[in-house]
Structure 1
Amino acid sequence: MTKRFSFDFFQRVGRSMMAVVLILPLVSILMGLGGILLNPSVHEVLPFLGGHGYQVAGELMQRAGQAIFNNLPVLFAVAIAITWTGKGMAGFASLIAFFVMHTVIGALVDITGLNVNEQLLGSELGIETMQTGVFGGILIGFLTAYLYNRFHRVQLPEAISLFSGERLVPIIASFAAIGVAVAFYFVWPLIGLGILALGNFVATHTNPLIVGLYGGIEKLLIPFGLHHIYNTPLLFTEIGGSYTTLNDARVVGDQNVYIAQVIDRLRDASVAITGGTYIAGKFIPVMFGLPAAALAMFHVAKKSRQAKAKGLLIAAAVTAFLTGITEPLEFTFLFVAPVLYGVHVVLTGLAFGIANALGMNAGFAGGSGLIDFVLFNVLPNQSNAWILTIGLGLVFAVIYYFTFRLLIVRLNLKTPGREEEGEETRLYTKEETREKIGVKRNGAKEDESNPDSRAARILHALGGKENITRLDACITRLRVGVKDQERVDEGELKRLGASGVLRVSDGVQAVYGSNSSVIKEEIQDLIDG
């Protein structure tokens, strides 16, 4: 694989897309609370919520949340540009380019009277245009990021030096957006029809095998940080289906369609729920399977180490159960017992397939944990999928528990609490981690008031700043592109609190939990300084 399209490149693509995904919990809260206030079933129990003031508040919450979904393309454009470059000016330039692109597309359609499928026409930020969806936003985001990196240091002649450096980027991005618009004018009608046909095929040929494979592959890609590239088209584009709301707004993507249909069904019981076909099974392994696996790991831990394992496993299991953030728990066995992760992948695919076989439609906005499960499935109560989810979840909890317990014991897997005497524990509670990173090898305490002490040591373990080609962080992982893998001290990274280190091609991922983004910023300050 070439340097330009290395594994680190694709990790960065996924990381950039995740910037948008991470705002969806806000949408979940807004739309979920709004749905509760507007739900007639809730009014039967709490009649005062049917009052005018509460109804207005509910409507405002739902519309505010829906605004996020309606504007995902421009959010992708801006977030990708900023995340890829780390510069706000790139995001500003991307926003301008997005406006220019759609304005030019709309003008070309209007001037030429292009005969195009009506499903491809619509508006973006009030601009009548062809709807290129998140694909257009993603393209503009990456294009602007490239232009920023290419031109933000350019020095122009003295007479026009005012436009040198970063100020040149929005200008160049605008002209580039015109070129993209012209290209889209010619090619998007064909591409768009192809996407619509693919979406229609997916919607009409969905079966348990396909859905199960989708769920299993998504889980398989999580360790590599590539799952957002994989699932974005299904969740947020026409490939995952489309739906026109009662307010005549067109939403696309399996996740978005489900939420829009639940909202409409609260107003009109005749609305059929067809979204959430592919993601209905996700709650089962997340809310039930993984916590059961954590219980199994705790029960087979050595008595002398159960107390330490307990704190770690409970925290990780609760995080997965409540929020749907599974990485802290999944990484507890990925690095020490990959066979367990393989079983997890298979069971996840099985859960997705069974949910589809039972005709379940369920969904989430920000995460597949209890919060979204209640807000978008239990409280709206528009199908029996949530009841089936609980029933299947309990069955899978039993399967996860006994499968994990049997494999751990039979294969003598070194899950938390089963390490050999004298062997370093690879996962720590918060207190243990602080203790580990607060003591130097000679036993002398470090100055805990110095926030860069840990960052400096991690940077050194990564081979120093001259070995760093790219620095990123997601929810639980520090993602680093490196020039020379041999200069990375994996053991030292673990001594500094990493629960696992994954080397892939020209990149290193160190799992530091929820502190990863803070560590990344501290290291970035050291590099910039």
Structure 2
Amino acid sequence: MFSFLQKIGKSLMFPIATLPAAALLLRLGQDDLFGIPFLSAAGAGIIDNLAIIFAIGIAFGLAHDSNGGAALAGAVAYLVLTSAIVTINESINMGVFAGILSGIVGGLLYNKFYNVKLPTWLAFFGGRRFVPIVTAATMTVLAGILGYAWPPVQDLIDGAGDWILNAGMFGVGAYGFLNRLLLPTGLHHVINTIVWFDFGTFTDATGEVVRGEINRFLKGDPTAGPFLSGFFPIMMFGLPAACLAMYAAAKKERKALIGGMLFSIGFTSFLTGITEPIEFSFMFLSPLLYVVHALLTGVSMMVAYALDVHHGFGFSAGAIDYVLNYGLAQNPLVLLVMGLVVGVIYFFIFYFLIIKLDLKTPGREDEDEENGNADTGNNGIDIRAYHTINALGGSDNIQTVDYCTTRLRLTVKDADKVNEKELKRHGAMGLMKVNKTNVQVVIGTAVEFLADAMKSRLAKGNPTPENLDAPIEKLPAEADLPKVIIDKDFFMPIDGKIIPLAEVPDDVFAKEMMGPGFGIIPSGNMLHSPIDGKVVTVFPTKHAIGIQTDTGVELLIHVGLDTVKLKGEGFEALVEQGQLVQAGDALLKLDLAYLEANAPSIVTPVIFTNLTGQKLQMLKDGNQKQGTASILKVE
């Protein structure tokens, strides 16, 4: 559940990213600025439709492949819900909750049904086209339920909102504290959504009812702003002052290295209100400082409330929003005075705690941590990470670094700049260029160590190691590893029914003469790779393919029995020997009707040919869809 809430919080960043444009247009069109109703209407087009934007953004963010089909499902879910529910009770107003719920339902249903297969006469409506259909049906049922279940919830939310909005400075302070405290988990977006876009109501000059602190402030509600004002002193002055304190407390020999970074993230916070680069720079190194920061945020919110300051933002509490919304604010100059005081407090508290408690903020890390790996220092993995980054086109070419069990999965600016020869020279086992901006580098089961070292180096610009000529050591646990397959990394290769190997009608396979495995009675016509690896054999008759996984397991997929006699008829090979593949890549296209008519059996054995002293355990049986994860594991 915690992980799921994090995904929702992350998905909310998509629709929230639309707010700067909305705020800019809405604000510039007001009479006290340019007085252009056209601009205000353009901004209101976003603000007034946040719920459906949330539905689209969340569904898109939850989709396993970030496909636009999920976004369409989210929009369909919202339109069905909001249109149907008011026929039961026209007073229902779910606000952005309707968008959030619709986005969640649309995203989850997309992941469940994106590859569903229907009978031939309904095939047009299969796959991703089926998702909006099942979404509409699901939301119709939910609308019927919520039409009766939501009014008490709405009353409870309104009551809670009234309580918080009327709880005085302590309610505002508690919100500010929780807002920062939840940032590391990503759940602050959830509480922000409730306060910013749902609590409180205001009827504007046109008679439209507006909900939420941000919406009400931008639409001219004079009571809006207490839940926003106190952030300005923190983001414009407090956190930049914290950067100054960390610079002052840094080791002398490290100041030049970290000074530019601290200035950059401090100025970003002041100008735009984007604070995560600062907060993540110390929240894990020094959790105590982060708790202090959360408490100071709560205090700032309380003081701004006590001084009757009403200011707001469309994106975040930086200088841009401060100036842009100045004309709508009450007592905005007080925030500048508060900011100067807050800046001084932040500097002295942070500097005192860092020095007194020897906190490991940027520039004060222990020497063996400075190169990104406390276990190996500036050798071994660190040197290998340096060469790997250079072989990938340098730090400027690398945008993101991620990894799975055995592979680096990277987003780069230009895949043509990646040097495969240099990668292999420094330990890589293979390279796959997925497209112009995505590459995968096969490293082995110790990929995690290399990825962590690369991330640390990229954060510092990949400086040259001191002992660059030292021999590169093997990554920890890279040699003599047992051949394993983690259950979540192995997928069903084709639609069909899993059967025990003993039921395969061929003694060579059934008695495990070639190795352990399982059988499939296929119902699909496309065979996919069940795991990341390399194609080591494509039989001339195309009826069987051998794959060696990135962990060294050798796998044989033999389609049908005695199909070698078909001399390639009924098969179309989609890969070639030596090709790197990842789980889900298509290997063979089958003419299943031809095979059923001409082969003794279409039962397809999947055999592990080089497992020694290890146990194969099947986790699923019966009919399974292609792509189903965790059907087996090797221990």
Would you call these one fold, judging by a TM-score over 0.5?
Answer: yes
Shift of 1:26: 1.1
Higher relative contact order (CA 8 A, sep 6+): 1
CA apart distance, 1:156: 0.6
| Greater strand content | 2
- Where does structure 1 lack aligned partners over 5 or more consecutive residues? 43-53, 121-129, 263-272, 428-436, 468-484, 500-524
- The residue that corresponds to 2:208 in the other structure is 249
- Deviation per CA, 1:239-267: give whole Å up to 9, x if none: x21100011111101121111116xxxxx
2:85 pairs with 81, 105, 115, which one? Answer: 105
Q: Residues 444-473 of structure 1, C-alpha deviation per residue, up to 9 Å, x if partnerless?
A: 8733448998589x444x533699xxxxxx
Structure 2, unmatched stretches of 5+, are: 374-380, 410-444, 461-580, 586-635
- 1:136-160 CA distances to partner (integer Å, 9 max, x unpaired)? 1111111111111111111111111
Matched, 1:34 2:19: no
Task: Tell me the residue number matched to 1:521.
Answer: none
Q: Distance in 2 between matches of 1:328 and 1:451?
A: 19
- Could you say which residue in structure 2 is the equivalent of 1:343? 292
Contact 2:268 2:274 in 1 (8 A): yes
Between the aligned partners of 2:388 and 2:122, the Cα distance in structure 1 is 58
- Partners of 2:584 and 2:320 in 1: how far apart? 39
Residue 167 of structure 2 aligns to which amino acid in structure 1?
A: T
Q: Which residue is 2:226 aligned to?
A: 277
| CA–CA separation in structure 2 for the residues paired with 1:370 and 1:528 | 48
Change (3 A) 1:32 1:486: farther
Matching of residue 59 in structure 1 with residue 60 in structure 2: no
Q: CA deviation at 1:497?
A: 3.0
State yes or no: 1:411 paired with 2:357.
yes
Deviation of the 1:177 alpha carbon = 1.6
Q: 1:170-189 maps to which residues of 2 (within 5 A)?
A: 170-189=132-151
Counterpart selection for 1:84 from 49, 54, 62:
62
Q: C-alpha distance in 2, partners of 1:26/1:459?
A: 31
Q: Could you tell me whether the CA contact under 8 Å between 2:226 and 2:301 is conserved in 1?
A: no
Q: Which letter does structure 1 place at the counterpart of 2:360?
A: K
| Residues in 1 aligned to 2:388 and 2:49: alpha-carbon distance in whole angstroms | 53
User: 2:193 is aligned with what amino acid?
Assistant: T
Contact 2:310–2:329 (8 Å) recurs in 1: no
User: Quick one: structure 1 residues 412 and 65, their matched pair in 2 at CA, closer, same or farther if it must change by over 3 Å?
Assistant: same
Instruction: Give the direction of change, closer, same or farther, for the CA distance of 1:148–1:425 in structure 2 (3 Å limit).
Output: same
3-state SS of paired residue (1:74)? helix
Q: Is the 8 A contact 2:389 2:454 kept in 1?
A: no
Opposite residue 415 of structure 1, the aligned amino acid is: T
Cα displacement string for residues 329-359 of structure 1 (whole angstroms, at most 9, x for unaligned residues): 1122222222211211111111111111222
1:447 aligns with 391
Name 2:541's counterpart in structure 1.
none
The structure 2 residue matched to 1:211, chosen from 148, 160, 172, is 172
How many residue pairs get matched?
Answer: 421
Report the counterpart of residue 184 of structure 2 in structure 1: 223
Alpha carbons of structure 1 residues 179 and 466: separation in structure 2 relative to 1, 3 Å: farther
SS at structure 2 position matched to 1:150: helix
**Structure 1 residues 405 and 528, CA, compared in 2 at 3 Å: closer, same or farther?**
farther
Q: How big is the shift at 1:422? A: 5.7
Give the SS at the match of 2:205.
Answer: coil
Residues in 2 aligned to 1:449 and 1:157: alpha-carbon distance in whole angstroms: 48
What code does the residue aligned with 2:39 have?
A: M
Contact 1:426-1:498 within 8 A present in 2 as well: no
Distance 1:196 1:423, change over 3 A: closer
Rounded to whole Å, the distance in 2 between the matches of 1:159 and 1:381 is 60
Structure 1 match to 2:406:
464
CA contact (8 A) 2:77 2:139 kept: yes
Corresponding residue for 1:474?
Answer: none
Q: Which residue in the other structure is 1:268 paired with?
A: none
Q: In the superposition, relative to structure 1, how do residues 277 and 452 fare at CA in structure 2: closer, same or farther (>3 Å)?
A: closer
Structure with higher Rg: it is: 2
SS at match of 1:278: helix
* Alpha-carbon separation, structure 1, partners of 2:81 and 2:9: 24
Inter-partner Cα distance in structure 2 for 1:223 and 1:82? 23
Deviations 1:388-427 (Å, cap 9, x if unpaired)? Answer: 1111111111111111111111122222223344641569
SS at match of 2:210: strand
Tell me: CA distance 1:87–1:438, structure 2 relative to 1, closer, same or farther (3 Å).
farther
8 Å CA contact retained: 1:233, 1:253: yes
Shift, 1:298, TM fit: 1.4
Aligned to 1:383: 330
1:67-114 alpha-carbon deviations (Å, 9 max, x no partner) = 2121111111111111110110111122122222222224x34xxxx5
Which residue does the alignment assign to 2:303? 354
Match of 2:536 in 1: none
Distance 1:162 1:407 in 2: 65
**Alpha-carbon separation, structure 2, partners of 1:71 and 1:26:** 14
The alpha carbon displacement at 1:213 in A equals 1.4
1:279 aligned counterpart, secondary structure: helix
Answer whether contact 1:287 1:322 (CA < 8 A) is retained: yes
Contact 1:200/1:241 (CA < 8 Å) preserved in 2?
Answer: yes
Contact 1:454 1:496 in 2 (8 A): no
CA contact (8 A) 1:209 1:353 kept: yes
SS of 2:124's partner is helix
TM-superposed deviation, 1:494: 4.2
Determine if contact 2:372/2:457 at 8 Å carries over to the other structure.
Answer: no
Aligned positions of 1:489-528 closer than 5 A: 489=449, 491-492=452-453, 494-497=455-458
Distance in 1 between residues matched to 2:407 and 2:385, nearest whole Å: 22
Query: 1:432 is matched with which residue?
Result: none
Q: Which residue pairs with 2:607 in the alignment?
A: none
Change in CA separation of 1:349 and 1:444 when aligned onto 2, cut-off 3 Å: closer
Report the CA distance between 1:17 and its aligned residue.
1.6
Deviation track 1:353-402 (CA, whole Å, cap 9, x = no partner) reads 111122221110011111111111x2x15421x11111111111111111
Structure with more helix by fraction: 1
**What fraction of aligned residue pairs are identical, expressed as a percent?**
35
Contact kept? 1:336, 1:413, Cα under 8 Å: yes
> How much does 1:280 deviate?
1.3
SS at match of 1:159: helix
Q: Which residue of 2 aligns with 1:370?
A: 319
Per-residue CA shift, 1:284-306, capped at 9, x if unaligned? 11111011111111122233221
Q: 1:274 to 1:527 in 2, by over 3 A?
A: farther
**Does the 8 Å CA contact 2:230/2:301 hold for their aligned counterparts?**
yes
1:132 to 1:422, Cα distance in 2 relative to 1, 3 A: closer
